[in-house]
């Protein structure tokens, strides 16, 4: 059963440029992974009448409406009041919601401000939805054959409640069979056109279709199928795609490239240290975002200046003077110097020119060198990346992770 779903994001800050609306994208991503699609997305300011009018309109055209934002304790948090107004319900102090709010403050050893009681003012006869990560309970309304779920706007709280409260209800409405199953394969090192060309002539199982997307610098290959046998069809299709694209697939589903590398490092039992210059610690940040990173990650050195490279990594002043900090020789010296001082199993170094200034004819913006040092491997290579400063830093960090991933995969392969 295809469900008609809309998302309404509420907040002045979303429309005045203060913060981006990441909630609609997050909901779309979470629903998409389970085979559901958003038909409509809308953003509104903190205006009671506008919110109420939008709720009435969306309810008449959709089966499910997801609302985020405007459930806080301040005067400009008007979503609950607007929902009561939209459907002619009284706004009442909900005892269950109030108990949840008080319990949150008590459990976190925090003093509750009297204004937080406002978050328990909800439309009459609503269903309260617990928020285990914040003070604002959500709530559910059934109106004219439409299910409306109201969640707080704080992304972490909202996403947890979508998984706990929304997805099970969607499965119940769809009879336990999502209308579309999707398998996402994340590819690094191939462009979107190149990926498509490699798959030309591939005889996929009947009922499987292919889509593409880009999350720079990765290409997302999306395998889609419907019906009771969808997962089996996708398994067969994935095997076929794997034969064509091989090791360029760096992650699957919701897994990221850093998570793939973290998993491989954990399985290998090896330790890693990083020396970063142009990436400014980005690789280390991505890896240490992952719980359990301490089992494999030893340390990271952000050696931006020549002096830092000399002091911390023992890169000789002659190399820095003759070859320059942005050179294959320097990257190699950074990696080997760090491994000698840390005695970790693997060290990786990144040095380059992210721009927008600092380039030259010989070394234009986007020139990046990466090196890896291990007991059984010493390698370094230069790249010419293009794009904005942010894009160059991001692709450089991804390439450093890719070096680690490929080293670990090669090391794990049985020797002939």
Identify the residue with better confidence: 116 or 416.
116
Name the token pair of 394. 């991001």
pLDDT of residue 146: 97
- Cis peptide, bond prior to residue 217, ω within 30 of zero: yes
CA quadruple 337, 369, 192, 199: dihedral sign: negative
Tens of pLDDT along 353-384?
999 999 999 999 999 999 999 999 999 999 99
Residue 179 has a pLDDT of 66
58-106 confidence digits (pLDDT tens): 999 999 999 999 999 999 999 999 999 999 999 999 999 999 999 999 9
- Residue 227 pLDDT: 82
Digit-coded pLDDT (tens) for 12-35: 999 999 999 999 999 998 998 888
pLDDT tens figures, 97-153: 999 999 999 999 999 999 999 999 999 999 999 999 999 999 999 998 999 999 999
pLDDT digit string (tens) for 247-290?
Answer: 999 999 989 999 999 999 999 999 999 999 999 999 999 999 99
What confidence tier does 200 reach under pLDDT thresholds 50, 70, 90? Answer: very high
Q: Report CA-CA distances (Å) from 315 to 84, 109, 364.
A: 67, 50, 23
> Phi, psi (5° rounding) for residue 32?
-60, -40
Supply the pLDDT for residue 177: 62
**What tokens were used for 55?**
């709720």
pLDDT reported for residue 416? 66
For residue 413, the model assigns a pLDDT of 87
> With bands split at pLDDT 50, 70 and 90, how would you rate the model's confidence at 2?
confident
Span 306-323, average pLDDT: 98
What pLDDT score was predicted for residue 92?
Answer: 97
Q: What is the pLDDT of residue 178?
A: 62
pLDDT at 34: 83
pLDDT, residue 403, reads: 98
Mean pLDDT of 378-401: 98
């Amino acid at each position: 059963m295809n469900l008609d779903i809309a998302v309404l994001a509420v907040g002045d800050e979303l429309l005045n440029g203060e913060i981006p609306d990441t909630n609609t994208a997050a909901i779309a991503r979470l629903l998409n992974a389970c085979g559901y699609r958003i038909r409509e997305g809308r953003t509104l300011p903190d205006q009671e009448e506008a919110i109420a009018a939008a709720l009435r309109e969306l309810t008449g055209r959709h089966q499910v409406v997801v609302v985020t934002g405007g459930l806080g304790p301040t005067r400009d948090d008007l979503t609950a009041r607007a929902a009561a107004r939209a459907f002619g319900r009284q706004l009442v102090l909900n005892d269950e919601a109030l108990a949840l709010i008080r319990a949150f403050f008590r459990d976190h050893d925090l003093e509750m401000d009297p204004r937080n009681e406002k978050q328990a003012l909800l439309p009459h006869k609503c269903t309260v939805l617990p928020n285990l990560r914040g003070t604002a309970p959500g709530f559910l309304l059934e109106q004219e054959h439409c299910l409306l779920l109201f969640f707080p706007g704080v992304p972490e709280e909202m996403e947890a409640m979508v998984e706990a409260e929304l997805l099970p209800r969607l499965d119940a409405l769809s009879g336990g069979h999502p209308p579309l199953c999707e398998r996402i394969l994340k590819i690094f090192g191939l462009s979107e056109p190149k990926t498509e060309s490699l798959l030309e002539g591939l005889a996929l199982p009947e009922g499987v279709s292919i889509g593409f997307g880009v999350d720079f610098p990765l290409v997302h290959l999306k395998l889609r199928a419907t019906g009771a046998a969808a997962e089996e069809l996708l398994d067969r299709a994935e095997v076929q795609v794997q034969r064509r694209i091989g090791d360029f697939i760096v992650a699957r589903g919701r897994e990221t490239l850093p998570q793939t590398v973290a998993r491989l490092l954990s399985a290998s039992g090896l330790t890693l240290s990083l020396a970063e210059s142009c990436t400014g610690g980005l690789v280390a940040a991505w890896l240490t975002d992952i719980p359990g990173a301490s089992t494999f990650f030893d340390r990271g050195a952000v050696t931006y200046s020549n002096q830092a490279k000399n002091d911390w990594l023992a890169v000789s002043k002659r190399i820095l003077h003759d070859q320059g900090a942005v050179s294959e020789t320097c990257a190699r010296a950074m990696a080997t110097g760090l491994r000698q001082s840390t005695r970790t199993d693997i060290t990786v170094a990144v040095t380059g020119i992210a721009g927008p200034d600092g380039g030259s004819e010989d070394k234009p913006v986007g020139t990046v060198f990466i090196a890896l040092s291990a007991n059984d491997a010493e390698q370094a290579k230069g790249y010419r990346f293009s794009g904005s400063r942010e894009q160059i830093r991001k692709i450089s960090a991804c390439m450093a992770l890719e070096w680690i991933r490929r080293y670990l995969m090669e090391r794990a392969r049985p020797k002939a």
